[in-house]
Amino acid sequence: MTGTTLQTKLAQARSEGRAALIGYMPAGFPDVESSIRVVQAMVAGGCDVIEVGLPYSDPMMDGPTIQRAADLALEAGTTTDDVFRVVEAGAATGAATLVMSYWNPIERYGVERFAQNLAKAGGAGVITPDLLPEEAEEWIAAGDREGLDRIFLVAPSSTDRRLALTVRACRGFVYAASLMGITGTREQVSDTAEGLVRRTREAAGDSGLPVCVGLGISNAAQAAEVAAYADGVIVGTGFCQRVLDAPDLETGLIAVESFARELATGVRAR
Amino acid sequence: MSHNRQMPDAHGHYGRFGGRFAPEALVAALDEVETEWEKARQDPAFQAELAELLKDYTGRPSALSEARNFSEHCGGARILLKREDLNHTGSHKINNVLGQALLTRRMGKTRVIAETGAGQHGVATATACALLGLECVIYMGEEDTRRQALNVARMRMLGAEVVPVTIGSRTLKDAINEAFRDWVANVDRTHYLFGTVAGPHPFPKLVRDLHFVVGAEAREQVLERVGRLPDAVAACVGGGSNAMAIFAAFIPDESVALYGFEAGGEGADTPRTAASITAGSHGVFHGARTFVLQDEYGQTLPSHSISAGLDYPAVGPEHAYLAETGRASYEPITDAEAMEAFRLLCRTEGIIPAIESAHALAGARKLGERLGPDAVVLVNLSGRGDKDVNTAAAYFGLVDTEDQA
């Protein structure tokens, strides 16, 4: 059975008895060409899947680090078309490449046009953190036409009824938010994450839809802890922070690659 | 309170507008607010407590004043002012705040967060929290904390924590983003006391319902005073809470024209504007589909208005619906037109209006000229101008600004 590159990557990780490593980076941060090199460094370090962030002026679910990265990307003049360039470069590395975006920029670009251009760039799908399945009819239809995966989120506060609704709408995987909060590193991974993953798997039933966990994961030990019960470990803020902290791009690339390597060890140490 | 029951639909849609574009983590809380409000509005004990607060604490019903002198500057049309400026805390905002504060207690939550632009909603929220013993945190753009320093002091006096927001454009929209970030992390014991008829469902409906009293009172008062319904109702529109407050009871009265006056800033055809219906396009912003000031990629454009309370790049979804269906008309008023109306009302009636409300007054002048001396125009005077004395004094050159620094 052939699936999208995302489905293939997740199945491959599962067959190796490990979790997949999923890394997030906003397109255009600190500029388009540099963000392409950062993505390449993430893959070189061991990311199986790349989430290319579409920088947005009002990132309601992001903490200070990703807000800052997105702000810099917008100041650098990054557009939706630039996002597709970064996706194309990500896909060229062999990693499954997704876009993560707030909904308005997709709707403004045109849902159909967005889906077509993403597919053309080799993108595998889209994560939509502020789009609920109830409002997603147009996107689901467009994604289906282009063979794109669609990833909605579940949260610790989701009722069983909503878990069932959301996993039915997902394709590729379901994104389990480990805690009630916004993006950013945390000292400890919330213990609500494991329970949420268990409930989500029950809701997914026989479909076997992979469940990947994000929010607050920032080191190998946390990655290993989450990898023990999830199909994928999602890390964003830690990558952005390394680029922000570096005195120049080359130093940043080294830090990003070595961070990815550390996390890649973690997802294999379940 | 039986009105307009068909809007919104079960998912919060007003035609193609509204809905719920929010993180999944907030859905349970939004559902809880919706369910509890439906119960509370059927609960005689809750309604009695709210009615008593509106009467004995806020001072409702608010007066209806005929502005006979100002009317000479409005083509002679009869101008009736709904005096929300006379409410406790100085604006219509208190109606919504008291209702949601009671709802917070009913839901068993102990902490309230809110956004504020000009500070009116923040002050009203801090007031209600002081009264009901709720912990209160107010998010306010750093830019606005400077423009409205006196209101920051008022909120702190009332026991609220005021958090300056230093990200993005540092104004109202960024304060709302930050309040949502707080809410998702603290939702188990926190209610987000949203201040306008925008945001994800059920906020546009909840806030409209809690302000319905404004138009309902005004409708009775006009009938009693004039013996007929007004020809037109005028209100300023930022997010749109005071406009929905006075419109809602008149929506079924097809003979009554509804006018929303947006903040045109330096002109709705310039980038320095906040007129989202006139100058914006369809988009999704702060949880609802509506009109947004945005660029071709859907990035929000910075808004501008001399009035901090109208300085918002979008509008509540029910206004978007009323605009699209033609039930209400929306026109921009420039900063200069608003300030001229502000000056006129001060001088002719001895009432200092909020600069927000001055946009409605400027609109009423245009309506009066169009409709003529037989017309009756009801204006929502949504707030008083005490908070704006510094801005107005600087605008009209009434103080030596160098001495102030």
Q: Which residue of A has its CA nearest to B285?
A: A104
Split at pLDDT 50, 70, 90, the class of A180 is confident
Check CB contact under 8 Å for A67 and B167. Answer: yes
**Sequence ranges of the domains in chain A:** 19-267
Tell which wins on pLDDT, B330 or A3. B330
Confidence at residue B401, expressed as pLDDT on a 0 to 100 scale: 55
Q: Please give the C-alpha separations between residue B82 and each of A161, B22, B332, B367, in angstroms, as whole numbers.
A: 46, 35, 21, 17
**How far apart, in whole angstroms, are the C-alpha atoms of residue B271 and residue A236?**
35
Q: What is the predicted pLDDT for the residue at A188?
A: 81
Summarize pLDDT for A118-141 with one digit per residue, the tens: 999 999 999 999 999 999 999 999
Chain A's closest residue to B27, CA to CA, is A158
Structure tokens at B295: 């660029």
Type of residue found at A226:
V
Which chain B residues contact residue A56 at CB under 8 A?
298-299
Tell me what pLDDT residue B13 has: 98
Among the partner-chain residues A108, A153, A156, the one whose CB lies closest to the CB of B297 is A108
Rounded to a whole number of angstroms, the distance from the CA of A98 to the nearest CA of chain B is 19
Is the bond into B313 cis (omega within 30 degrees of 0)? no
A262–chain B Cβ distance below 8 A for any pair? no
Mean pLDDT of A137-152: 98
Q: Show residues of chain B in contact with A155, CB under 8 Å.
A: 23-25, 27
Q: Between B177, B187, B284, which is nearest A107 by CB? A: B284
User: Which amino acid is located at A232 in the chain?
Assistant: G
Round to whole Å and give the CA distance between B260 and B244.
9
The burial class, CB within 10 Å (0-12 / 13-18 / 19+), for B4 is: middle
pLDDT band at A1 (very low <50, low <70, confident <90, very high): very low
CB burial of A187-217 (b: ≥16 within 10 Å; e: otherwise) equals eebbebbbebbebbbebbeeeebbbbbbbbb
Select which of A62, A149, A194, A231 is catalytic.
A62
The tokens describing B296, both together, are 């071709």
Q: Which two tokens stand for residue A249?
A: 């791009």
Rg of chain A over Cα atoms, rounded to whole angstroms, equals 17
Cα B27 to Cα B24: distance, rounded to the nearest angstrom: 5
Q: Which amino acid is at A157?
A: S
Q: Is residue A270 pLDDT above 90, yes or no?
A: no
Domain ranges of chain B: 13-56+93-203, 61-90+212-404
Task: Note the CATH number of domain B13-56+93-203.
Answer: 3.40.50.1100
- pLDDT band for position A57 (50/70/90)? very high
Class of domain A19-267: alpha beta
pLDDT of residue B1: 39
The reported pTM is: 0.96
- Could you tell me what percent of chain A has a pLDDT over 70? 99
Q: Which of B243, B245, B379 is nearest to B312 (CA)?
A: B243
d(CA A80, CA B298): 9
Coil, strand or helix: which one is A91? helix
Closest-CA residue of B relative to A79 is: B297
CATH class of this structure's domain B61-90+212-404: alpha beta
Inter-chain CB proximity B23 and A166 less than 8 Å: no
User: Catalytic residues of B, which ones?
Assistant: 93, 115, 382
Contact yes or no for B310/B338 (Cβ under 8 A): no
A80 min Cα distance to partner chain B (Å) = 7
Which residues have CB under 8 Å from A212's CB, separation 6+? A10, A19, A20, A22, A173, A174, A175, A176, A230, A231, A232, A233, A234
Whole-angstrom distance, CA of residue B310 vs CA of residue B241: 11
> Hey, which bits of B266-364 come out as E strands?
281-285, 288-292, 328-334
Mind listing the pLDDT tens digit of every residue in chain B (405 residues)?
A: 334 557 899 999 999 999 999 999 999 999 999 999 999 999 999 999 999 999 999 999 999 999 999 999 999 999 999 999 999 999 999 999 999 999 999 999 999 999 998 899 999 999 999 999 999 999 999 988 987 888 999 999 999 999 999 988 888 999 999 999 999 999 999 999 999 999 999 999 999 999 999 999 999 999 999 999 999 999 999 999 999 999 999 999 999 999 999 999 999 999 999 999 999 999 999 999 999 999 999 999 999 999 989 999 999 999 999 999 999 999 999 999 999 999 999 999 999 999 999 999 999 999 999 999 999 999 999 999 999 998 999 999 998 755 444
Is the CB of residue A173 less than 8 Å from the CB of residue A124? no
From chain A, the residues in CB contact with B174 under 8 A are: 58
This model of the complex carries an ipTM of 0.96
**Which of A64, A80, A135 is the closest to B297 by Cβ?**
A80
Say what the pLDDT of residue A190 is: 78
Q: CA neighbours within 13 Å on the CB side: how many for A233?
A: 32
User: Residue B148 has what pLDDT?
Assistant: 86
CA of residue A88 relative to chain centroid, distance: 16
pLDDT for residue B405: 41
Q: DSSP letters of B82-127?
A: EEGGGSGGGBTHHHHHHHHHHHHHHTT--EEEEEESSSHHHHHHHH
CB nearest to B185's CB, from A135, A158, A182: A182
